[in-house]
Amino acid sequence: MQYFSTRGDDSRLSSAEAILKGLAPDGGLFVPEQLPQVDADFIAGLAPLTYEKRAARVLGLFLTDYTADELMGCVERAYGSGKFDTAKRAPVVTLKDASVLELWHGPTSAFKDMALQLLPQLMQTALTKTGVTDTVLILVATSGDTGKAALAGFCDVPQIKIMVFYPDGGVSRIQRLQMCTQAGENVNVTAVRGNFDDAQSGVKEIFSDAAFNGELQAAQVRLSSANSINWGRLVPQIVYYFSAYADLVTAGTIKAGEEINFTVPTGNFGDILAGFYAKEMGLPVHKLICASNANNVLTDFLRTGVYDRNRAFYKTITPSMDILISSNLERLLYHLTGDTAQVAGWMGELAATGRYDVGEALLGKIQQTFWADWADDAKTQATIKDVYDANHYVCDTHTAVAYAVARSYQQATGDTHHMVIASTASPYKFNGSVLAALGAETSGLDEFQLLDKLAEYNPQPVPAGLAALAHLDVRHQGVCEKSGMRAAVLNFARK
């Protein structure tokens, strides 16, 4: 299978080449030339398999230039060796009114591990397959979780460096400590004065700056990405939708072939887009419900067809969703129109004016699959308490947003399809906000005492990687303006 740009560049690349490039030369995102189709037998065949074997089967449909042995080696290195704290990797927990797909059992306690433990393996294999001898410099903009997951995945991987930019003051203290204590000779973490969109747009501008990339090439360095703009980061996320469905059938929660709903807390639109791909491939999905926080640009778009980032930006207790430019929406627009020129036009409008309007016809197609709502911080905290009281289950703030929106969807539509809520982070990553929601007394407690306090409520133990932060040195203290990102990249690349 070959890949090409959402914006019309004529290049056709193998999956290995697309994964190494990350972003297309015209600024577009790589998409597959067609979506593979699966049948009921394929889905049923996943049930008895380990997560690794499920992953190899799904990935093999897209990464056709990788051999079966190469893919199996990649997934075993990604998910094995004790990196995940559960044999299921992405277990499904069924509560009284919904099932929760727990995606945070990896080394950094966030759903990003599901992809970012695998991407380095795919990328290193791609380097060998394509004969590339340059150093690959991974640039990452993070709203909190992607940064640490990428750092952990790429730490000390040969022939690869990684540089992470995060918004100064725009992540939780635990998230900042996770990143800034990261060891490794090939890593750099730098704060950007501004919000996540400043960091993300800065990274995109660097990718599209031909002269700057020429300077890097002279130093035998080429750029790539670990954000979900990279196809190798997005495709592993398709796997856990299939895995969750297989587990629900095995548990008797649903019948084979029965359609279900997924509600996904959404920032950059990658996680929910993976659900769209699974549905288009043949997974029995009825609706994908997009859950946002007060930065509800996606809610407005999915209701009106107008994407408008010209609005107030809010710092919330769900920082991984504090985003106003959702990059992966571009892929959805391409798949529903097949028109790269139209997509390029909309992205040009977004860059120039901060908004675009896809019109009523396309909005109607989008709404056949997607529904959207949002929850503010007060609603989020109330939902954490409600879920705990009803189920003795502790969810993080982002998962609570999804839970609140799932309930809103059910109340608004009367839809009775089984609901699966994507749980994207361990509650321990946002312990202060979760404890406040639970009504716990926390005055005078530091970040690590808060972890122990939350463990009094949560049957799940404190993740080892978070507990260890108390004893690690801060290694990265760099800060720059958005305008200084190029200089920071060049300096790190030349080391």
Note the pLDDT of residue 25: 87
H or E element in which residue 248 lies? helix 231-251
**Quick one: how far is CA 114 from the chain centroid?**
9
Note the pLDDT of residue 229: 86
Mean pLDDT of 130-157: 91
What value, to the nearest 5°, has the Cα angle with vertex 476 and ends 473 and 478? 150
Please tell me whether residue 327 adopts helix, strand or coil conformation.
coil
Q: Give the pLDDT band (50/70/90) at residue 282.
A: very high
String of b and e for 7-38 (b: at least 16 CB within 10 Å)?
Answer: bbbeeebbbbbbbbbbbbebbbbbbbeebbeb
Which residue in 242, 223, 240 sits closest to 19, CA to CA?
A: 223
Note the pLDDT of residue 173: 86
**CA 228 – CA 61 distance, rounded (Å):** 19
Give the residue carrying structure tokens 């639970």. Answer: 438
Which residue in 302, 321, 322 sits closest to 312, CA to CA?
A: 322
Note the pLDDT of residue 191: 97
What the block records as the tokens of 449 is 């005492």
**CA 99 – CA 419 distance, rounded (Å):** 6
End-to-end CA separation in angstroms for the chain: 37
Note the pLDDT of residue 252: 97
How many Cβ atoms from other residues are within 10 Å of residue 305's Cβ?
18
CA distances from 138 to 16, 124, 369, 467 (A): 15, 12, 33, 28
Of residues 256 and 23, more confidence is placed in 256
Please tell me whether residue 495 adopts helix, strand or coil conformation.
coil
Note the pLDDT of residue 120: 93
Helix H segments across 254-395? 270-281, 297-304, 329-337, 340-353, 359-367, 377-391
Q: Is 482 a catalytic residue?
A: no
Note the pLDDT of residue 227: 80
Note the pLDDT of residue 159: 94
Which residue in 224, 270, 274, 235 sits closest to 23, CA to CA?
A: 224
Note the pLDDT of residue 329: 97
| β-strands 418-423, 260-265 pairing | parallel
Q: Give the HSE-up count for residue 278: Cα atoms under 13 Å, Cβ half-sphere.
A: 33
The sign one gets for the Cα dihedral 398, 400, 403, 407 is: negative
Mean pLDDT of 3-19: 95
Is residue 212 scored above 80 in pLDDT?
Answer: yes
- DSSP conformation letters of 93-156: EE-SS-EEEE---STTSBTTHHHHTTHHHHHHHHHHHHT--SEEEEEEE-SSHHHHHHHHHHTT
**CA 19 – CA 195 distance, rounded (Å):** 27
- DSSP conformation letters of 379-391: HHHHHHHHHHHHH
Note the pLDDT of residue 172: 85
Torsion of CA 181, 200, 239, 399, to 10 degrees: 70
Q: CB of 224 within 8 A of CB of 120?
A: no
> pLDDT tens digits for 383-427?
999 999 999 999 999 999 999 999 999 999 999 999 999 999 999
Mean pLDDT of 115-140: 94
Q: CB of 233 within 8 A of CB of 328?
A: no
**CA 363 – CA 306 distance, rounded (Å):** 9
Note the pLDDT of residue 340: 97
Mean pLDDT of 360-370: 98
> pLDDT tens digits for 345-361?
999 999 999 999 999 99
Q: CB of 295 within 8 A of CB of 314?
A: yes
Give the residue carrying structure tokens 């903009």. Answer: 141
**CA 4 – CA 235 distance, rounded (Å):** 15
Is residue 143 scored above 90 in pLDDT?
Answer: no
What the block records as the tokens of 49 is 């398999």
Is residue 144 scored above 80 in pLDDT?
Answer: no
Mean pLDDT of 182-203: 94
Is residue 225 scored above 90 in pLDDT?
Answer: no
Q: CB of 469 within 8 A of CB of 181?
A: yes
Percent over 70 (pLDDT), the chain: 100
Residue 357 pairs in a beta bridge with 306
| β-strands 187-192, 160-167 pairing | parallel
What the block records as the tokens of 444 is 């005078």
Mean pLDDT of 231-241: 97
Is residue 107 scored above 80 in pLDDT?
Answer: yes
Q: Give the pLDDT band (50/70/90) at residue 113.
A: very high
Is residue 10 scored above 90 in pLDDT?
Answer: no
Mean pLDDT of 369-389: 98
Rg (CA), the chain: 21
DSSP state of 47: T
Is residue 146 scored above 90 in pLDDT?
Answer: no
What the block records as the tokens of 38 is 């699966």
| Mean of all residue pLDDT scores within the chain | 95
Note the pLDDT of residue 478: 95
> pLDDT tens digits for 33-85?
999 999 999 999 999 999 999 999 999 999 999 999 999 999 999 999 899 99
Note the pLDDT of residue 412: 98
Q: CB of 485 within 8 A of CB of 164?
A: no
Q: CB of 116 within 8 A of CB of 226?
A: yes
Q: CB of 139 within 8 A of CB of 180?
A: no
Mean pLDDT of 311-318: 94
How many Cβ atoms from other residues are within 10 Å of residue 447's Cβ?
15
Considering 88, 96, 112, 129, which one is annotated as catalytic?
Answer: 112
How many Cβ atoms from other residues are within 10 Å of residue 248's Cβ?
21
